[in-house]
């Protein structure tokens, strides 16, 4: 993808594996006509004001909560994202987390490795049987629908939030679901959506899965819900912050799985994401409509 852009433009690439520190990002963007950024890069009024020549912002992600869309729109700067191509990979990972938490795989793996695996016991490490269980999907977009298809193949009953297609209020979904899977975007309305009050509505046997954005879940409340037995387990691919420090209190909670944001991490998906990000960037630099534009 970078080679495609280099064929037409002068390209400067941040060379380190970690995101550029804020001063370096501001300095690098100052003379840029186009910016291809990751979800770790905050594109706000400070950066836009410091980049008077910027004509397009291309985000290599579906979510754009790292970008001030209103500020970009006010300056006439189109913003692009990479929808669709990561749906199946992210849904696969969400369901992998669901299965791992439901069948208590981390505990089983640990028992084999630490020598606590004893004789066969009919009451040991009992988990949730998916056939007949209720999956509650919070946010029935592309990824939520893909997870629903997988769940139906396992014999689960699927319910979801929303006003269309028989969607339920969040409170009712939380009361009914054996597994709650988060797939809504991060907005001011969804920040902290899964809170102490939400956990109080869930079954003690319920499992929470989050592959959307970390701040949608109140992590302090989640840690307390796991420690108190308010819910049975949680499996996260996203946290707040990212990376989550090893000393974070959440990591001491029981029955918790945390992955380092691997939702779209397949070779095929990341290549497609890079391609779409390049498409958006090249279109913006050429002054033509972005193939995958995001509105404010």
Phi, psi angles (nearest 5°) of residue 108: -65, -40
Structure tokens at 12: 């400067």
Question: Quick check: bond before 192 cis, omega within 30?
Answer: no
- Residue 52: partners with Cβ closer than 8 Å, 6 or more residues away: none
DSSP for 143-162? HHHHHHHHHHHTT-EEEEBS
User: Out of 9, 160, 183, 261, which one is annotated catalytic?
Assistant: 261
The count of C-alpha atoms lying within 13 angstroms of the C-alpha of 4, restricted to the half-sphere facing its C-beta, is 13
Say if residues 239 and 217 touch (Cβ distance below 8 Å). Answer: no
For residue 285, give both structure tokens: 């630099």
Instruction: Give the separation between CA 63 and CA 295, rounded to whole angstroms.
Output: 12
Whether 292 sits among the annotated catalytic residues: the reply is: no
Asked if 202 and 230 count as a contact pair (C-beta separation under 8 A), the reply is yes
The span from the CA of 202 to the CA of 172, in Å, is: 9
Q: Which residues are catalytic?
A: 261
């Amino acid at each position: 993808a970078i080679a495609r852009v280099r064929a037409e433009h002068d390209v400067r690439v941040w060379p380190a594996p970690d995101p550029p520190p804020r001063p370096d990002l501001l300095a690098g963007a100052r003379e840029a006509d186009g910016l291809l950024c990751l979800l770790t890069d905050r594109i706000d009024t400070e950066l836009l004001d410091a980049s008077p020549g910027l004509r397009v912002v291309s985000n290599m992600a579906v979510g754009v909560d790292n970008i001030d869309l209103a500020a970009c729109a006010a300056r006439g700067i189109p913003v692009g994202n990479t929808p669709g191509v990561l749906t199946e990979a992210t849904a696969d990972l969400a369901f992998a987390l669901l299965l791992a938490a439901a069948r208590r795989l981390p505990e089983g793996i640990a028992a084999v490795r630490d020598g606590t695996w004893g004789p066969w016991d009919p009451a040991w490490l009992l988990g949730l049987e998916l056939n007949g269980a209720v999956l509650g999907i919070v946010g029935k977009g592309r990824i939520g629908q893909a997870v629903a298809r997988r769940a139906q193949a396992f014999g689960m009953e699927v319910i979801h939030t929303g006003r269309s297609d028989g969607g339920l209020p969040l409170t009712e979904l939380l009361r009914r679901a054996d597994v709650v899977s988060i797939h809504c975007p991060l907005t001011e309305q969804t920040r902290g959506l899964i809170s102490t009050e939400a956990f109080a509505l869930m079954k003690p046997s319920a499992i929470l899965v989050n592959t959307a954005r970390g701040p949608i879940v109140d992590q302090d409340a989640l840690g307390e819900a796991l420690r108190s037995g308010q819910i049975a387990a949680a499996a996260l691919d996203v946290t707040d912050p990212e990376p989550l420090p090893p000393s974070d209190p959440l990591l001491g909670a029981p029955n918790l799985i945390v992955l380092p944001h691997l939702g779209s991490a397949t070779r095929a998906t990341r290549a497609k994401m890079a391609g779409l990000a390049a498409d958006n960037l090249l279109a913006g630099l050429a002054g033509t409509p972005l193939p995958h534009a995001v509105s404010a």
